[in-house]
């Protein structure tokens, strides 16, 4: 059988609201997630020796049983009952590691989709979603992608019924030497804001409904974001991380200062600036990729001086997908 390739896109959070604690110890969340076209690629080929092996072009990424790709492969094989199945997996890593962009979750979702096809298992989408939810809170979204409400710990999905796919673009920045622990970020949130957490399912549902009917959702649903600024994007972890991480403070200040310049007429103030997930990736939204690229050019010297990596990306309407 020929090699298969699965495209695994990153995500950003357009809204991240921490509602309270769940009985299982996870936080109850209300989010809007959005796929972007910055993507890894996972190559797969069958292995006759029954082994599951993973290699990556970035040596700092673990490729043992702690990697979500390997965990997804082992879970899928176990559910199939075919213990003799093996695969050689090679990851081309383009999404920054430890960045709040769900790169690891998207890679795991790619393994589920790719190996389901490679091994001819025939699991339906609902079964893959259930396995994804076992492996990680973001992984169900990474399977489907697009623009979605994500509730619970992130695994309960409600697609936004958009009139047309969103055409927005973003300038994404991250310091390559900085990462933020997601458990640390949520632990800080609980320590500093736990007294204000909601307690009941009824209160959680009120906040979910407020998000469904709120100004951000209505702007997205009606396609108004191309011509009017977005309402401020909420991320309940941003202020906590910004207070502790210098590169997040510096990066947000740089993105917020993108202003029109006479010599660069395409540069305009971003529609919104925010941190994705628990950070430390930051983004500024623009109405087109051309505008995002112009902002990148205008800020290039300052971003380089600050040590930031930068990417210009577009919104995507798809999650992980087979390419060949």
| Residues annotated catalytic, as ranges | 11, 138
Omega before residue 227 within 30° of 0, cis: no
CA dist 244 and 47 (Å) reads: 46
CA dist 147 and 32 (Å) reads: 7
CA dist 116 and 134 (Å) reads: 17
On whether the CB atoms of residues 157 and 319 are closer than 8 A, the answer is no
On whether the CB atoms of residues 316 and 37 are closer than 8 A, the answer is yes
Strand pairing report for 169-174 and 309-316: antiparallel
CA dist 85 and 1 (Å) reads: 14
| Count of beta carbons in the 10 Å neighbourhood of residue 183 | 8
Read off the tokens for 91: 């990851």
CA dist 36 and 181 (Å) reads: 22
On whether the CB atoms of residues 173 and 312 are closer than 8 A, the answer is no
Residues 6+ apart with CB under 8 A from 146: 34, 35, 159, 160, 165, 316, 317, 318, 319
Reference 229, options 168, 279, 171; nearest CA is 168
CA dist 317 and 164 (Å) reads: 10
CA dist 165 and 278 (Å) reads: 26
Helix or strand (DSSP H, E) at 36: strand 27-46
CA dist 250 and 158 (Å) reads: 34
């Amino acid at each position: 059988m020929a090699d298969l390739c699965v495209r695994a896109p990153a995500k950003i959070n357009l809204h991240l609201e921490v509602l309270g604690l769940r009985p299982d110890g996870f936080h109850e969340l209300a989010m809007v997630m959005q796929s972007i076209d910055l993507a890894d690629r996972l190559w797969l080929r069958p292995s006759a020796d029954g082994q599951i092996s993973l290699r990556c072009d970035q040596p700092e990424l673990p490729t043992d049983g702690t990697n979500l790709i390997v965990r997804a492969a082992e879970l899928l094989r176990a559910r199939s009952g075919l213990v003799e199945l093996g695969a050689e997996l090679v990851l081309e890593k383009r999404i920054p590691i430890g960045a709040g962009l769900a790169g690891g979750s998207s890679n795991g979702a790619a393994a589920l989709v790719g190996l389901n096809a490679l091994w001819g298992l025939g699991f339906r989408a609902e079964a893959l979603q259930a396995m994804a939810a076992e492996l990680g809170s973001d992984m169900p979204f990474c399977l489907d992608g697009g623009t979605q409400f994500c509730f619970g710990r992130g695994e309960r999905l409600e697609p936004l019924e958009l009139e047309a796919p969103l055409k927005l673009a973003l300038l994404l920045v991250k310091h390559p030497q900085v990462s933020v622990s997601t458990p640390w970020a949520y632990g800080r949130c609980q320590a500093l804001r736990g007294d204000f957490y909601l307690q009941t399912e009824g209160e959680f549902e009120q906040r979910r409904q407020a998000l469904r009917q709120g100004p951000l959702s209505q702007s997205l649903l009606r396609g108004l974001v191309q011509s009017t600024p977005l309402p401020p994007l909420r991320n309940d972890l941003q202020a906590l991380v910004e207070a502790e991480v210098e590169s997040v403070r510096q990066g947000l200040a740089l993105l917020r200062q993108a202003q029109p310049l006479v010599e660069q007429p395409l540069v305009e103030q971003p529609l919104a600036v925010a941190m994705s997930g628990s950070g430390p990736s930051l983004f500024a939204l623009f109405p087109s990729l051309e505008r995002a690229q112009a902002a990148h050019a205008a800020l290039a010297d300052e971003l380089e001086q600050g040590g930031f990596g930068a990417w210009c990306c577009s919104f995507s309407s798809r999650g992980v997908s087979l390419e060949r």
